[in-house]
Structure formats: C-alpha cells, structure tokens
Amino acid sequence: MRHALISLVMLATTASGPAKAGHYFSDVASGFSQTQETQVIEISAERFSFNPSEIRVKAGTKLEIRLTSEDTMHGFHIVGTDINLELPKRGRGVASATFQPTPGRYEFECSRLCGAGHSFMRGVIIATE
C-alpha cells in the first residue's frame, strides 16, 4: 500500500516536469471534469425580463443553466457563444445548457421574438477569478 502511494507520487512528479506538462495536465483536467461539481443556475423568463438578470459566478465553474418561461416562448442566447436555446411555454418544460466561463462578462439576450419588449430582455453572467 505504502509502495503504491510512493510510486504514484513519483509518477506525478515526473509527469509534471516541463516536457510532459501539457499532456499531464490535460489528462488531469479530463479526469476532474467528470467529478467536478456543477453549479445549477435557474433563470425564469417572463415578458420582458430574465430573473435573475445578473448572475455572478467563479470563473471555471461548470454551470448548468436551466431556463423556464412564465408565459410565452422566449429564447436564450449568450452573445459570442453558440449557446442559443428556445424556451418552451409555461408548463411545457425546461431548456438547459452547460457553460463553463473563463473570466469575463457574458451578455445574454432573448433570441426569439416575444413581443414589444423583446429587445429589452437581456442579462449578464459575470465570471470572476
């Protein structure tokens, strides 16, 4: 048992040397992503706002964004990303997307014409270090 532990430590030391650092870390990253905690963010959409409309998270956190509508169909587009969902009408289900932000501000907007105030349906995700 003790030997196994020591060789594991040695392996880590060797592999994290400059030559193999990239490969080693990418293996570690994929290993962690399966067990990493996901933060669930629930947003409701209603003519003509998202609630909450400002979301603050720690950068690098894997987010599961769940969206429901309180009335008609809406959209949810995070500007600058390919995340663009259609939210079903009230009572017809949840739309969800995963998003793992690097530090920054991510504006989101309704992407489905939903009435006179459609263009006011906006919000922001702020990811800080």
**Could you tell me if 44 and 69 are in contact, meaning their C-beta atoms sit under 8 angstroms apart?**
yes
Based on CB atoms, which residue is closest to ligand CUA, 62 or 118?
Answer: 118
The size of the interface with ligand CUA (CB under 6 A), counted in residues, is 8
- Structure tokens belonging to residue 6: 């020591």
Min CB(93)–ligand CUA separation in Å: 16
Based on CB atoms, which residue is closest to ligand CUA, 16 or 119?
Answer: 119
HSE, CB side, 13 Å, CA atoms: give it for residue 9: 6
Out of 67, 112, 123, 125, the only residue in the binding site for ligand CUA (CB under 6 A) is: 112
Min CB(52)–ligand CUA separation in Å: 16
Rg of the chain in Å (alpha carbons): 20
Based on CB atoms, which residue is closest to ligand CUA, 62 or 122?
Answer: 122
Based on CB atoms, which residue is closest to ligand CUA, 63 or 114?
Answer: 114
**Measured between alpha carbons, how far is 126 from 52 in angstroms, rounded to an integer?**
12
Give the sheet arrangement for strand 95-99, strand by strand. Answer: 49-51, 38-46, 62-69, 95-99
- Restricting to residues 58-97, name those near ligand CUA by CB under 6 A: 74-75
Q: 13 vs 1, 72, 106, 119, CA distance in Å?
A: 19, 56, 37, 54
Instruction: Determine if 110 is a binding residue for ligand CUA (CB under 6 A).
Output: yes
Give the binding site for ligand CUA (CB under 6 A). Answer: 74-75, 110, 112-114, 118, 121
